[in-house]
Structure 1
Amino acid sequence: MTKEGHGLDKQAVYDQLKNLENQLQQTLSQFTDLQAELTQVFEQNAELEIENQHLRDLLRELQKSLPEDPQTPQGLSKSRQILEKLYEEGFHVCREFYGTRRKQDEECAFCLEVIYRDQ
């Protein structure tokens, strides 16, 4: 091999190493982003599990405290009373947003329709 040929080989190897380094940095960056997103998903999942358990506990308490009559004086069935109570506690009871918190206790026409339709 000539000295010139050797120089080209070294440059090619250096360029390959530089390209590989860039690829590794991009892969590491993607990995870090994905890891952060996954952590956020796990945290959100844990919060939802806690919220879900809270709703189950609240539902059990409400079922114990409501009268056994199928219809109450205000005309709501026991199941609708439970939905009404959950709604009053700040949760959506409509199909679209069921179980999520109502932001700043804003009213939801969908929830009100579920609770009070045919009344």
Structure 2
Amino acid sequence: MVQKSDQESIYDRFSTVTKQTKDLLESINALSDQVSQLLAENVKLSMENEHLRSQLTGKKDNDEGLSNSRKILKKLYQEGFHVCNDMYGKRLGKNESCTFCLETIYGRHEPKEKGHSHANSL
């Protein structure tokens, strides 16, 4: 039979581990948000770079008439990240495409390449 002092010690250790786990999860979530922000900023800067290059070389920027924000989402998606509301910032699986992401990017526009739904990765 476990004595009262042992029970309290076990409870205290459990309480400490639980708090540490919650703190770690909060840190992971904050770091995940920072990574998503950095990736979005990186894509934005890459697009600005490409735009400046195309102006310097005289090449036209042909991106299916997408707004700048949709171009950023498209670039993030091409780099392997979800841009749909439900999964934003999470990694796409290998060879996975997401109909919801494509809808977010193209809306009423038709993409050049049609993607598949989440179902192909299940």
Q: TM-score, normalised by structure 1?
A: 0.49
Question: Which structure would you say has the larger Rg?
Answer: 1
Q: TM-score, normalised by structure 2?
A: 0.48
